[in-house]
Structure 1
Amino acid sequence: MFKKKKAKHSPELEEFNAEEAIKGKSSYFTDQAFKDKLGKYAKKLGIKISYYSLLLFYAFKSPATSKKDKLTIAGALGYLILPVDAIPDFIPVAGLTDDASVILYAVYRVISSIDDDVKARADQKMKKLFGVHYLAKTEDIDSKLNPTT
């Protein structure tokens, strides 16, 4: 009945390269910074949020991900990586709650960019990070995002 209008973007967005925009902007937003942060806080973030963070990371790296989705992912991962938070990470329990909320929001905003390859890469990394603990908890992951479906 109603036709969905295709979103129009400014010419600047059409030419925008998210990866290039991040380069040199912050020494915090690097592959290594993400890996360090996830390595340090993975157990506190939990299986689900760690996996979703990896989904975002690998979706950002994928050439199939749209520029719009890469912007969303860059914002979410930037918030996770950068040391400035609404609630500092060192505060027990609450410190990572805001990070988790941002990651959850971003995953569901860019879900169409999370393909089987992205899921497989995140799954492999989770197996390295958590081992058998991860395998026992995959039922906590949304079935649309689960690597085994």
Structure 2
Amino acid sequence: MDDKDYDTYAEKYSEKKLFEKIGRFAAKAGKKLVYVVLLLYYTLQKDNVPMKAKAIIIGVLGYFISPIDAIPDITPFIGYTDDFGALLVALAVVSVYVDEEVKNKAKSKLESWFGPISESDIEEINAKL
């Protein structure tokens, strides 16, 4: 995604829409994708994150929220692959701002939705940070 794409999808972002989307599709999207979304969400909440990084996060979360993207989310099995790829790229860009507090908040929220989460469920994502 380039800057124009981020601007387009940023218009689709709101905290309410994000949590509605997760609530509807968490089980289908899977723990890893939801964990990445939560890492980005909690990073966005931090005061020390520069506006450029926040703009990237808002753009990619807007892309995740939008049902109209490269591969429609209703497509069985592969509907979230484009979302996951875009989310991982954004996470890599802002990873310097992802600290233990962000990881703990994301894991805690993930457990509230999915039940107990083992480290093996999220270690692949954490290894990329």
Q: Which amino acid aligns with 1:54?
A: L
Aligned 8 A contact 2:92 2:128 in 1: no
- With a CA cutoff of 8 Å and minimum separation of 6, indicate the structure with the bigger relative contact order: 2
State which of 99, 109, 117 in structure 2 corresponds to 1:125: 109
The Cα of 1:43 is off from its aligned counterpart by 1.8
State which of 112, 115, 120 in structure 1 corresponds to 2:96: 112
* 1:103 pairs with 2:103: no
State which of 33, 39, 44 in structure 2 corresponds to 1:60: 44
Q: Which residue number in structure 1 is paired with residue 25 of structure 2?
A: 41
Q: Return the TM-score normalized by structure 1.
A: 0.72
Aligned 8 A contact 2:35 2:122 in 1: no
Q: Which residue number in structure 2 is paired with residue 92 of structure 1?
A: 76
Q: Distance in 2 between matches of 1:105 and 1:138?
A: 17
Gaps of 5+ in 2: 1-6
* 1:78 pairs with 2:66: no
Identical-residue share of aligned pairs (%): 37
The Cα of 1:142 is off from its aligned counterpart by 2.6
Q: Which amino acid aligns with 1:105?
A: V
Q: Which residue number in structure 2 is paired with residue 9 of structure 1?
A: none
Deviations 1:51-96 (A, max 9, x none): 0110001111111111111111011101001222121110101211
Deviations 1:89-119 (A, max 9, x none): 1010121111111111110111011122211
Q: Distance in 2 between matches of 1:48 and 1:54?
A: 10
Q: Which amino acid aligns with 2:26?
A: A
Q: Return the TM-score normalized by structure 2.
A: 0.82
Q: Which amino acid aligns with 2:41?
A: F
Q: Which has the larger radius of gyration?
A: 1
Q: Which residue number in structure 2 is paired with residue 50 of structure 1?
A: 34
Q: Which amino acid aligns with 2:71?
A: I
